[in-house]
A and B are shown apart, each in its own frame.
Chain A
Amino acid sequence: MIRNRAFWRKIIVYIIYCISCGLLQVTLPDTLSVLGGRPDLTLILAVLAGYMFGAADGFAIGLAAGLMRDLLAGRTLGLGMLLLMYAGLGASVLLRRFFRRNMLFGVIQVVIFTVIYTVMIVIITYLIPLQSETVYSFARLAEQTLTRLPGQIIINAIAAVPLILLLAFLGPYRRSKRGDDPDDGIVGDSLWRVA
């Protein structure tokens, strides 16, 4: 019964976070932008879920947050899901094995994946031009996109802090009821989730 309650808590909390982050991201006014960048909440959520709660959570939340992204603002279905799924999975591996579940490194993860995500978008835009006769040079695309990157990094790092606290204290797992996934190779420290 307790296990069931924990399971449903996880599902409900993640659904609330995915919907809230997706909707907030597409409705935030420009007044909250820093150097032209507005917080990429779905990306941050996927990265933090992977970093804080492991590969399975990163994978699932990446897909769910990506679906919200595709649904609300995507040209096509699937691209957001694919990118955020890998962001969630990547975040569950990168840094986590070395630095354990440190909040500061959660923010650093968000910064790293903001850069990786931006680079991936530039590559995709270069490889798949929307109008075949209009091909932009890679350098031009990179220049256009990277001018916004500093602002995007700053605002994402800022937005990551409250989201880390929310996931840690009002997250999918009770702090006293969370076990480690032995497959992740990390057991015992239980900073985010206590067995």
Chain B
Amino acid sequence: MQKPGRNRIFVIAFTTVLLLAVIVLSALPGSPLHYLTTPISVVISPIEKAFTRGIDEVSGFFQSLTDGQRIRRENEALKLENARLRNQISQLEDAGHQYNSLKNAFKLKDLYDQYDIVGARVLTREIGLWFDVFRIDVGTSDGFAVSGTESFAVVDAESNLIGRVASTDLLTGKVLPLLHEGFSVSARINRPDGALMRVRGSIDLKEEGYCLADQITVGARLNPGDLIVTSGLGGLFPAGIPIGTVVSVQETDTQTQRQATIEPFADFNQLTTVFVMKGIEP
């Protein structure tokens, strides 16, 4: 008869090997393993949306509570009037934001007419190294199936680059953000003679909300304040999507090793809605 201890070790060893295989397989672009999560996504998605909405409302409640206390301290005599006006302003601001989002989304549609643009709600946020992608509510059922050769650009309402879709299941997709050290995109300076470069995420700059430009064309003029856009090379990202501005240029002895720090236009802390771009088949 086998000892229970040996069985346990066998189960742990077997599970470990199995999980290592899953890690390797799921790291491959377009891995079918991601579809295995579809049943869980189907169950969790509605709970997740309700949860996200609930958390937003609770945060909003506590935020308004804090604001209200501050206002009461500062404006004791006018607190009722002030609260009423703030409420009105809040409602008008909300309506204004929605109007601007829709207006910009339509502008986006005109700008990239070779692309289908689908709006998506951001469901989750990152939780640390290796768990630093965020989920959106579009998946293969919306026509976004990531494969080894195909992925999709993600932009915000002002058409600034956010990242790309890294994997999808039936209902949801995972977005690799621009600041992520696994992300890179071919870019150029937004001038007629704009030099090419690569923009990528960097562990060193991520915390400050910056990304890095390297592989800058030898002899290129690059100055702080220059606007960086996607070059369109590589086929994944259409040309001309705004990425950010140059904050500083790190000059080195050799021109080939020049690097620049880029401040993205997109505000990654305020993302609630993003737009996924899909090329229209000719």
Measuring CB to CB, which residues of chain A are less than 8 angstroms from any residue of chain B? Answer: 19, 23-31, 38, 40, 55, 59, 63, 67, 69-82, 85, 89, 121-122, 124-125, 130-131, 134, 136, 140-141, 144-145, 183
Contact = CB atoms under 8 A, between A and B. Distances in A.
Closest 8 CB pairs of A and B: A26-B124, A130-B182, A78-B22, A77-B26, A78-B23, A73-B131, A82-B19, A27-B55
28 contacts: A24-B51, A26-B123, A26-B135, A27-B51, A31-B59, A40-B127, A40-B128, A70-B131, A73-B133, A75-B27, A75-B166, A76-B23, A77-B26, A77-B33, A77-B36, A78-B21, A78-B22, A78-B23, A78-B26, A79-B19, A85-B12, A85-B15, A121-B130, A125-B129, A130-B180, A131-B200, A134-B200, A144-B203
Contacts of B182: 75, 130-131
Given A59-B12, A76-B26, A131-B200, A71 B128 contact: no
Contacts of A75: 27, 130-133, 166, 176, 182
Contact of A27 (B40, B63, B124, B133): B124
B127 A82 contact: no
B148 interface: no
Most buried by B among A27, A81, A124, A134: A27
A23 B48 contact: yes
Given A130-B181, A140-B204, A74 B22 contact: no
Contacts of A130: 180-182
Interface residues of B, number: 54
Interface in B141-175: 166
Interface of B: 4-5, 8, 11-12, 15-16, 19-23, 26-27, 33-34, 36-37, 40-41, 44, 47-48, 51-52, 55, 59, 62-63, 123-135, 166, 176, 180-182, 184, 200, 202-204, 207, 269
Contacts of B34: 77
B203 A140 contact: yes
Nearest to A79: B23
B108 to A, nearest CB: 27
